[in-house]
Amino acid sequence: MEKLLKTEEEIMLADMARGFLDEAAPVARLRRMRDEGRTHDPELWKQMAEMGWAGVLVPEEAGGSDMGHTAAGVIAEEMGKTLTASPFIGTAVIAATALRRVADDRAKAALARIASGEAIYALAIDEGAKFDPDGVRMEARREGNGFRLSGTKKFVVDGGNADRLLVLARTGEGLTLFDLPADRDGITRAPRPMIDSRDAADVHLENVEATGEDVLGAVEDAMAVLRPALRAGQAALAAEMAGLAAGAFGMTVDYLKERKQFGVPIGAFQALQHRAAHLWCETEVTASAILHAGRMLDHDPDNAALAVSLAKARATSTAILAVQEGVQMHGGIGMTDEYDMGFYMKRARVAAEWLGDYGHHAKIVAQKRGFEG
């Protein structure tokens, strides 16, 4: 496949994002947040909203910048390089994409709140150890003209600080997606400590009342709204992981140039050069896959499944390789808290699982290519 390159506008967006994030959200900021016991930075999110990032997929008539999925990936990639902690993927990408699919007055009002930075959404799907939307068992029991929801959602990213929840539940023979305020009676949230120092929670719903107005899309047709939103989130997460790999690679190369052994930089050793060159090749191929996924989501979203799963699978393997090589080439100090490489490794491990792990997406790629039934 021919290598895809960013357009001039995308390069300018990346440069602008990098300049802002290097100053406003370096890895040192994440370290401070962790040491202070904080998982959310409302001031940083406000700044991102002012720059138009919260509304990257929100139509202009709703106050958004409507830059598209490729642009969202460009921003996410730069966030990955500095390990920026924000609700960007869950809110600006996943929730915004879902709400755009509905496009009624209520959804448009919600999109406007996302673009302004007022609303933070969390996606409440997972109930077990693995990503499995089709296997949801939480019941939304019909009651009059509404529903009663009971059950527990696990690993809800941004679940501790979100003010709205997208909850997937089973109604009869199908699945229905609900857009609920996080403080509705019957909803309790238990913060879940994560190794990447990000916000996540287990969300328990006990006989929670939901009306027809809380349904996003149609009853028992959740995937018409949710599946495109998940693909958008998976592509943006893949872009973040590609940025993470690039950040870890850059840190490793700098160390190879500085660290001396026998009077010469260790980067002069051929074995380490070969490993660094292999990692660079992997990051370049993955970057091309990320751009392709964004282009497909922008121009042919109904046929984007293969491109998105290929991007997420490649980004996962590349990010894991980058952090493993980074730790090994740093030697023993790579495992110490003093060095930032450990933060990259921890984030890579969590991101690898969120929205489907390597095996989940590799299976989709195989099926789309006709290698598996």
* Residues 230 and 194 occupy one common structural domain: no
Q: In this structure, are 321 and 284 located in the same domain? A: yes
Mean pLDDT for back-to-back runs of 10 residues, the chain (373 residues): 82 97 96 94 96 97 96 98 97 98 94 98 96 95 94 97 97 94 97 94 97 95 97 98 96 86 81 90 95 97 97 98 91 83 96 97 94 69
In this structure, the answer to whether residues 216 and 158 fall within a common structural domain is yes
Please indicate, yes or no, whether residues 25 and 69 belong to a single structural domain of this protein.
yes
Residue 145 and residue 25 share a domain: no
Residue 252 CA to residue 270 CA, distance in Å, equals 15
Q: Which domain holds residue 337?
A: 223-368
Residues 351 and 230 in one domain: yes
Last residue of a domain, one of 201, 220, 239: 220
DSSP 14-59: HHHHHHHHHHHS-HHHHHHHHHHT----HHHHHHHHHTTSTTTTS-
Both 77 and 113 in one domain: the answer is yes
Q: Is residue 273 part of a domain?
A: yes
- Sign, Cα dihedral of 95, 100, 103, 105: positive
* Domain end (from 190, 220, 250): 220
What pLDDT, on the 0 to 100 scale, is given for residue 373? Answer: 54
Q: How many domains are contained in the chain?
A: 3
What distance in Å separates the CA atoms of residue 363 and residue 18, rounded to the nearest whole number? 34
CATH assignment at residue 59: 1.10.540.10
Report the pLDDT value the prediction gives residue 202, as an integer from 0 to 100. 97
Per-residue pLDDT at 149: 97
DSSP string, 290-335: HHHHHHHHHH-GGG-HHHHHHHHHHHHHHHHHHHHHHHHHHGGGGG
Q: Is residue 3 one of the residues assigned to a domain?
A: no
Q: What is the pLDDT of residue 61?
A: 95
Number of residues that make up the chain: 373
Would residue 183 count as lying in a domain?
yes
Within a domain: 43: yes
Instruction: Assess whether 289 and 239 both reside in one domain.
Output: yes
Same domain, 134 and 228: no
Domain at 202, CATH number: 2.40.110.10
One domain, residues 171 and 53:
no
The per-residue pLDDT for 5 is 85
Q: What is the per-residue pLDDT for 93?
A: 98
Residue 368 to residue 365: CA distance in whole angstroms: 5
* Residue 132 pLDDT: 95
User: Which residues are CB-neighbours of 312 under 8 A, at least 6 positions away?
Assistant: 234, 235, 237, 238, 241, 355, 356, 361
If asked whether residues 205 and 133 sit together in one domain, one would say yes
- The pLDDT value given to residue 2: 62
Pairing mode of beta strands 121-124, 164-171:
parallel
Q: Give residue 1's pLDDT.
A: 52
Q: Do 276 and 303 share a structural domain?
A: yes
- Model pLDDT, residue 103: 82
Q: Is residue 88 part of a domain?
A: yes
Domain-terminating residue out of 196, 220, 244: 220
The CATH number given to whatever domain includes residue 299 is 1.20.140.10
* Cα separation values, 372 from 229, 308, 365, 367, Å: 25, 18, 9, 5
Residue 187 belongs to a domain = yes
Q: Is the residue at 56 inside a domain?
A: yes
Q: Which helix (H) or strand (E) holds 154?
A: strand 146-157
Instruction: Please indicate, yes or no, if residue 373 is contained in any of the structural domains.
Output: no
